Structure 1
Amino acid sequence: MIDDQLVGPAKTPATNVKTNASFVPAQTRKLNAGLTEIRKQWSSGHRRTARKICDKLIAEHPENGELMQLNGLILYETGQTDKAIRSLESACNSAETRPAYFTDLAAILSNSGYGDQARNVLLAAQKRYPVEAKVHLQLGLLEARLAGVHRAVQHLKHAISLAPKDWNTWNAMGAVLLSLDDIQAAMQHFGNAFALAQQNGETRALNDIQISLGECHKELGNFEEAQKIFENVLKAEPRNIRAWHCLSLISKIPQNHPTQSAMQQVYSSGRHQNLPAKDREMFLFSIGKTEMDGNNYGSAMKALDEANRIKRESITYSPTAIENMLDDMQLAFPAERFAQLAPVGNQDDEPQHVFIVGMPRSGTTLIEQILSSHPEIFGAGELDVMARHHHGLIEHRSKSSTNHERLEKYDDEFVHLIGQAYRKETLARISRIAANNASSDKTRRIIDKLPANFVRAGMIALMLPNTRIIHCRRNPVATCFSIYNRRFGGIQNFAYDQKELGHYYNTYMKFMHHWRQVLPADRFIEVDYENVIDDLGTEARRLIDFVGLEWDDACMEFHKTKRQIRTHSAMQVRNPIYRDGLKNWEPYANYLQPLLDTLGLDKSGLPLNS
């Protein structure tokens, strides 16, 4: 995941101590000794002592960049993010500033949900330090996190050219290539990173790179190989949180597993509270998953509530802003805009596009896997192409002094430009992904399964001829609970508070009602997850008929289809249909009252006024 690959902030920045002490002023020697003592006390767990020394030094040296950097990192690790940002800003503005001050500040801003501000910090650092590889490295990873993957690749290529023996740069490029579904190239870059880290004796780095390789195998469906890698890392480092988290996602970790015991000891003792917020969040989501596997409902929800609370504190989210955005989109696409659309055709001169939309965890991956098992359908996964060109064109119009009113109208020219850019890039990308696919020349339909594209259903229907949309629905409580108990690599800012999650679901359903009313039936279809589970044959034939192809029996054996899958449902869709997950939320109903109240449902999932 790109989130897990993002570098820094550093935990122990290097001290700039002169080697010849006789030429160092006494005041500087005292400062350097103080910085060393702060690190010593902090790493030994004596945080209050470290904090006192730091405060005293700041009173004496308020403009020292290295001290303000260290202070910022301490503040960040203790959850005082706003103060940490201000301290690192002071470091960046100090007389003797360094690249690390900028990269640390950018990392904290990015991890706190201020991606644009982080980019501005790094762009300023790039101008000041144009040949500093770490600045380009951070820019690349930040762009990848913000869905600017093509800019990310350019920055990371530059970072590799500046520091070809730095394992971090190769590892980062591997993570970005993995996000672009270029899995073979990703594995090659991870391999280079591993070799370089091995040469430098970077033991912890070797484990992290192996975990990334394990994630590659997982997405290819090589679960046994992935599990072997995660297990080997845990043998070498029993408390590696990322390896344990990855292992918990692909298997039920037995209660007698040695790592299970070690992690539970960390949890029960409260030592996990000393972890940085991001590691603590990942740790608690993993605890929640293993407790769920053991049917320990109360323990699972305690860990999940804490994990979600930590995640929520690190992001900025406004339900009102979401409502306003969806209202504007609804007004921009009234029924009249679709009245003159020609009927969908099944011309074979070029592949046609099919979009699968809905809430996360609503069955979108299952529907894509069923469809992509057809020999004439290519499942491209969750493409970022549509969102990136959408936001990019708005940004371009804004810079061109186009007034805000026109930006929100989504006129025909706007929609056409997005359609052309989307098609060009999507065809180029799937050509690369399918280069070794013997059936790639048979592709007549391309599936784009990014759930959040439900926002853009109006544009999708108008931007290209013969485009189709499949809306996936699932029981509201099952959908929301499945979101709440998962740690998402991407940004799902609505997901980490039960009331906000329920509010978002209600807003989404209201919005989908609009598309249901205005979109032509040959361009928009809805499928219920529960109906697919109950009657796969009927629903699969209905889907294939909707996309305009002849039936193929391979769709009934979707679990045998070998293809890359990059979602939390990767394990499930490689197995036959099963009903176990339909009501797995019910034992947790007593812990979901804020969600149920917001959805207007009782503990049985029925409307309160029924």
Structure 2
Amino acid sequence: MNNFPFANQITIPEALKRAYAHWNAGQAPMAEQLARQVLQMAPYQPDALHLLGLMAHAYGKPDLALDYLRRACAATTASASYCSNLAEVCRQQGLLTEAEKAARRAVAQDPNLIAGWTNLGIILQESGKLDASLECLQRVCALQPANPEIHNNLGNTYKLLNQLDAAQASYRQALALHPNYPEAHSNLAFLLCDLGRFDEAAVAAEMAIELNPHLADAYLNLAEIEISRLRYVDALRHLNALMAFAPQHPGALAARAQVLIKTERPQDALACARQAVSVAPDNARAHNTLGRALQALDQHEQALNSFDQAAALPGTVTEEAMTARALLLLEMGDKEAAIAAFDRTLAQFPESIRVTMARVDTKTYRADDPDIALMEAALTHAIKPTLNDQMGLHFALGKAYLDSANSERAFYHLDRGNAIKRDVVVYDAEKTGQWMRQIAATFTPELMDKFRRAGAASDRPVFIVGMPRSGTTLVEQILASHADIFGAGELSALRFAVDGVGSFPDDVARWGAEDFARVGRAYLSRVDDLAPHALRLVDKMPANFLYAGLIPLVLSGARIIHCRRDAVDTCLSCYSKHFAGEQLFSYRQDELGVFYRDYQFLMESLREVLPQDRFIEVDYEDVVDDLEAQARRLIAFVGLPWDDACLDFHKTSRVVRTASVSQVRQPIYTTSKGRWRRHAAYLGPLLSALGIDQSSLDKAEPA
């Protein structure tokens, strides 16, 4: 039917012509009225459906837009541009499989459709089909070399392919063609962040926001820059600014959840991640973030399911999600399953550098291990990895060469990996030392005596403190093997409880009994729900040595176990480990040695004032030499009957989320005792900072 039953009896083609003219002139109500009148006469008319789809999309009604565009493209007479538009709306909704199908139909119908090839290239890019994406976008670039948007899109694919030089060239070409192009500024910011050029990256992201205050990606990139600089408060500020105008943005919700995980607010992170998945159920990154939040809350099976969902969905996070799943299995103590998971990931992503780095703790390297050659080649390849990946490669190769007894190559890489990390963090060794001396001066015998009964009464908490890599995880594993003891891992509950009351240690001298009790109650409120039936709860946060003087005053029944280990072995182990958390003092040998001596001074001071019945010190070397005697001593100290399972600690099934994840799954071994002597020639700055005379090493005993 070609005519309207209205005055003037205009034809359907004429009505459609007028409708599109009204829409292009900004007269949406008239355009919508005419389009709906067309559909009254011809319910499947594709041009009217397409126009209503465009209007729904413009007015923020994506589901309605999809419905109209799908119906428009169902017609055999639908134009290629309609299919291209459907593809773009599907992409924006995360429906990448449908989007690719629509885009391929568009370019099949019209091989010269620039928008169709562009959309297909971007869809393939987001689907992780990067070589195909590159082919599409290079084709478009050849057809329209003066189009800045095409250079920007091409840069995005180059970046995902880790061809960072080519990506940067594409972004800069886009900006040369269009200096005020906000998306190109934003993407350049993200690239510069990967290169470790954080100040330049922040300037580029801020420029993008100035040009387009509603450009969501620019806020996300600015947040990522601040996360890379460990400035989590600033990252949340940028995400809050984004969510002020886009409260349901899935990328913002996922990024916020990641920051909350890093700042140890896992319950808040979980709520945020669940919201991201609810808003975008087909978004792989949202599911991956949900997996990390669940992992942080020890909900392991649910976390594995989320990683599986993320890996199964189209997108560019498949490798990341599969790797995260393998690492979680390693934490859970299922090494065989973890190795199999890494192998599956490598089968799907052959010669993946990130997977090769991630599985470093699953193996002991020999000199001829092919992974070593693969990682060395990645560092010398013309296409450089991102700065984070370069750092990870250096640490992984450092470990591999230490395993294979090649000290020279090990420290070549460890020095470079640590230097990259040190350039990112802000750390003042002198101020840190002053702070520890202030802590030591605060906890006087008079203060300890005055408030020794002030704290919350509970004999459930057991604190393991000391330097990282000093045997804290081993001692926790021995204790946690007891039927009545729960190993809670590294908790920040005490730090949060203290921060909630005032500045530490400045305010301690002004506290009264109620202040100490309030900190104790705040701590207990954070841990009471963890294994409530266990008679003892082990909090293995090594850095709690800073609060060792405070613990008896806030928790009058708590016990403290101070783990000690040879000073140089401890520091070498810190220097050679790529920690998941931030150990700001460990990225320069001299600063590491100074920190150790400051820690040593603090513990020597606190040893004089801590209650003898609630404080013991355990030497790693003694545990290695006589496991049973030290295990029995530990169990007696926490006031429980002996349990033979403590001697088979390596068989205990529990999650271990520390740098010692692999070691505590093995029986006691002695190879780590005094291992620093094999590498003494490369430890000059550390030995000097520790006050060890290098000229007499052959005569000296371990420090």
TM-score range (shorter-chain normalised) is 0.7 to 0.9
Distance 2:382 2:522 in 1: 47
2:420 to 288, 310, 318: 310
| 1:422 counterpart = 2:530 | no
Distance 1:492 1:367 in 2: 21
1:375 to 480, 483, 488: 483
In the alignment, is the contact (CA less than 8 A) between 1:91 and 1:97 conserved in 2? no
In the alignment, is the contact (CA less than 8 A) between 2:147 and 2:174 conserved in 1? no
The structure whose Rg is larger is 2
In the alignment, is the contact (CA less than 8 A) between 1:218 and 1:226 conserved in 2? yes
In the alignment, is the contact (CA less than 8 A) between 1:65 and 1:97 conserved in 2? no
**Secondary structure in structure 1 of the residue aligned to 2:486:** strand
1:519 to 610, 625, 629: 610
CA deviation string 1:197-218 (max 9, x = no partner) = 2xx2x4x533322222222221
Distance 2:167 2:690 in 1: 47
**CA, structure 1 residues 607+315, in 2 after alignment: closer, same or farther (shift >3 Å)?**
farther
Q: Which residue of 1 aligns with 2:564?
A: 473
For residues 77-92 of structure 1, the aligned pairs below 5 Å read: 77-92=194-209
Distance 1:280 1:408 in 2: 46
CA deviation string 1:184-232 (max 9, x = no partner) = 332232233234x2xx2x4x53332222222222122111111111122
For residues 390-539 of structure 1, the aligned pairs below 5 Å read: 390-394=498-502, 406=507, 409=510, 411-431=512-532, 441=533, 443-539=534-630
Q: Which residue of 1 aligns with 2:336?
A: 224
CA shift at 1:354, angstroms?
Answer: 0.3
CA shift at 1:130, angstroms?
Answer: 0.8
Q: Which residue of 2 aligns with 1:240?
A: 352
1:162 to 279, 296, 306: 279
Distance 1:40 1:563 in 2: 41
Q: Which residue of 2 aligns with 1:262?
A: 374
Distance 1:526 1:510 in 2: 15
CA deviation string 1:461-515 (max 9, x = no partner) = 1212310111101011000000111110111111111111111111111111221
Distance 2:221 2:334 in 1: 36
Distance 2:516 2:454 in 1: 18
Q: Which residue of 2 aligns with 1:286?
A: 396
**CA, structure 1 residues 271+544, in 2 after alignment: closer, same or farther (shift >3 Å)?**
same
**Secondary structure in structure 2 of the residue aligned to 1:585:** helix
CA deviation string 1:223-258 (max 9, x = no partner) = 111111112222332332332123220212455555
Distance 2:165 2:689 in 1: 42
Q: Which residue of 2 aligns with 1:184?
A: 301
| 1:549 counterpart = 2:640 | yes
**Structure 1 vs Structure 2 CA RMSD:** 3.2
In the alignment, is the contact (CA less than 8 A) between 2:454 and 2:553 conserved in 1? no
Give unpaired runs (5+ residues) of structure 1: 1-16, 22-26, 398-403, 432-440
Moved more, 61-70 or 255-264: 255-264
CA deviation string 1:96-120 (max 9, x = no partner) = 5311101111111111222221111
In the alignment, is the contact (CA less than 8 A) between 1:163 and 1:169 conserved in 2? yes
In the alignment, is the contact (CA less than 8 A) between 1:343 and 1:522 conserved in 2? no
In the alignment, is the contact (CA less than 8 A) between 1:254 and 1:260 conserved in 2? no
In the alignment, is the contact (CA less than 8 A) between 2:477 and 2:487 conserved in 1? yes
Distance 2:265 2:425 in 1: 19
**CA, structure 1 residues 112+45, in 2 after alignment: closer, same or farther (shift >3 Å)?**
closer
Distance 2:402 2:187 in 1: 39
| 1:562 counterpart = 2:653 | yes
Distance 2:264 2:655 in 1: 20
Q: Which residue of 2 aligns with 1:249?
A: 361
**CA, structure 1 residues 591+273, in 2 after alignment: closer, same or farther (shift >3 Å)?**
farther
CA shift at 1:49, angstroms?
Answer: 7.5
Give unpaired runs (5+ residues) of structure 2: 1-112, 118-143
Q: Which residue of 2 aligns with 1:578?
A: 669
Moved more, 588-597 or 158-167: 158-167
Moved more, 153-162 or 185-194: 185-194
Moved more, 480-489 or 217-226: 217-226
**CA, structure 1 residues 272+511, in 2 after alignment: closer, same or farther (shift >3 Å)?**
farther
CA deviation string 1:518-566 (max 9, x = no partner) = 1111122111111111222222222222211222232222222222211
User: In percent, how many aligned pairs have the same letter?
Assistant: 33
Q: Which residue of 2 aligns with 1:435?
A: none
* Letter aligned with residue 408 of structure 2: G
For residues 12-27 of structure 1, the aligned pairs below 5 Å read: 19=115
CA shift at 1:60, angstroms?
Answer: 6.9
CA shift at 1:328, angstroms?
Answer: 3.8
2:405 to 288, 291, 295: 295
CA deviation string 1:276-310 (max 9, x = no partner) = 11111111111111111111110111111111111
CA deviation string 1:294-350 (max 9, x = no partner) = 1111011111111111111111112133224324433443222221566999x9xx7
1:364 to 463, 466, 472: 472
* Letter aligned with residue 614 of structure 2: R
CA deviation string 1:152-186 (max 9, x = no partner) = 22221221221122121121121122122222332
**CA, structure 1 residues 272+377, in 2 after alignment: closer, same or farther (shift >3 Å)?**
farther
**CA, structure 1 residues 519+283, in 2 after alignment: closer, same or farther (shift >3 Å)?**
same
**Secondary structure in structure 2 of the residue aligned to 1:75:** helix
Distance 1:414 1:530 in 2: 39
| 1:386 counterpart = 2:494 | yes
Number of aligned positions between the proteins = 561
**CA, structure 1 residues 19+327, in 2 after alignment: closer, same or farther (shift >3 Å)?**
same
2:690 to 574, 595, 599: 599
Q: Which residue of 2 aligns with 1:438?
A: none
**CA, structure 1 residues 317+58, in 2 after alignment: closer, same or farther (shift >3 Å)?**
same
**Secondary structure in structure 2 of the residue aligned to 1:428:** coil
**CA, structure 1 residues 100+541, in 2 after alignment: closer, same or farther (shift >3 Å)?**
same
**CA, structure 1 residues 63+336, in 2 after alignment: closer, same or farther (shift >3 Å)?**
farther
In the alignment, is the contact (CA less than 8 A) between 1:344 and 1:522 conserved in 2? no
Moved more, 521-530 or 421-430: 421-430
**Secondary structure in structure 2 of the residue aligned to 1:494:** helix
Distance 1:275 1:242 in 2: 10
Q: Which residue of 1 aligns with 2:46?
A: none
Distance 2:560 2:391 in 1: 35
**CA, structure 1 residues 272+56, in 2 after alignment: closer, same or farther (shift >3 Å)?**
closer
In the alignment, is the contact (CA less than 8 A) between 1:344 and 1:467 conserved in 2? no
| 1:151 counterpart = 2:263 | no
Distance 1:176 1:51 in 2: 33
**CA, structure 1 residues 258+119, in 2 after alignment: closer, same or farther (shift >3 Å)?**
same
**Secondary structure in structure 2 of the residue aligned to 1:32:** helix
